[in-house]
């Protein structure tokens, strides 16, 4: 279980790196999961942490200690049971494109091609129908760039079951 404050985050000191980003404040956050029979399994206890824009933070700990749970809370995928989490002073109450999570296991939709899975985040942004043609072309270009960046251009039309585990990740 993650408890108390997580300290020693290290700010990025490279002059080439832009100091953009968000400030994340985690204040006295505790979280637990309901188990069969009504018992509660505590996973986070009184966690407090501040992450400044441009800061790089690594959460380290053994399996099952609450690292992924904390990231799910910061992403807005679920609310903490107690305490609060803010982004730039605003409460985090739902997912937002400014906060993303890359899951440990590939979470690809098996009925979508690699290209369609990569495009999903762009498609999730609500775009007025009048802009669809222009946006579709821009999305296509961005998806192509992303696939090329990770060496998957040749697999754009493949389905997740046709990929190795590393490729799916």
Mean pLDDT of 83-109: 86
Mean pLDDT of the chain: 81
Q: What is the pTM of this model?
A: 0.60
Using pLDDT thresholds of 50, 70 and 90, give the confidence band for residue 80.
very high
Q: Which of 102, 124, 21, 31 lies closest to 73, judged by CA?
A: 31
CA triple 142-107-155, angle to 5 deg: 50
Which of these, 20, 61, 22, 66, lies nearest to 41 by C-alpha position? 66
Q: What is the pLDDT of residue 168?
A: 84
pLDDT at 148 over 90: yes
Residue 158 has pLDDT above 50, yes or no: yes
pLDDT in tens, 28-76: 999 998 888 888 889 999 999 999 998 989 999 888 889 989 999 999 9
pLDDT at 75: 92
């Amino acid at each position: 279980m993650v408890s108390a404050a997580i300290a020693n985050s290290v700010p990025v000191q490279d002059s080439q790196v832009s100091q953009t980003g968000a400030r994340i404040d985690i204040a006295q956050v505790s979280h637990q999961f309901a188990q069969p029979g009504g018992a509660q399994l505590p996973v986070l206890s009184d966690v407090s942490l501040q992450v400044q824009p441009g800061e790089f933070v690594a959460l380290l700990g053994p399996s099952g200690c609450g690292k992924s749970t904390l990231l799910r809370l910061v992403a807005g995928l679920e609310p903490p049971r107690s305490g609060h989490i803010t982004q730039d002073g605003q409460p985090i109450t739902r997912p937002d494109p400014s906060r993303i999570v890359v899951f440990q296991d590939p979470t690809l939709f098996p009925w979508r091609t690699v290209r369609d899975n990569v495009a999903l985040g762009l498609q999730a942004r609500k775009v007025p129908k009048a802009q669809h043609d222009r946006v579709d072309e821009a999305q296509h270009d961005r998806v192509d760039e992303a696939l090329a960046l990770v060496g998957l251009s040749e697999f754009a039309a493949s389905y997740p079951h046709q990929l190795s585990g590393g490729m799916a990740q």
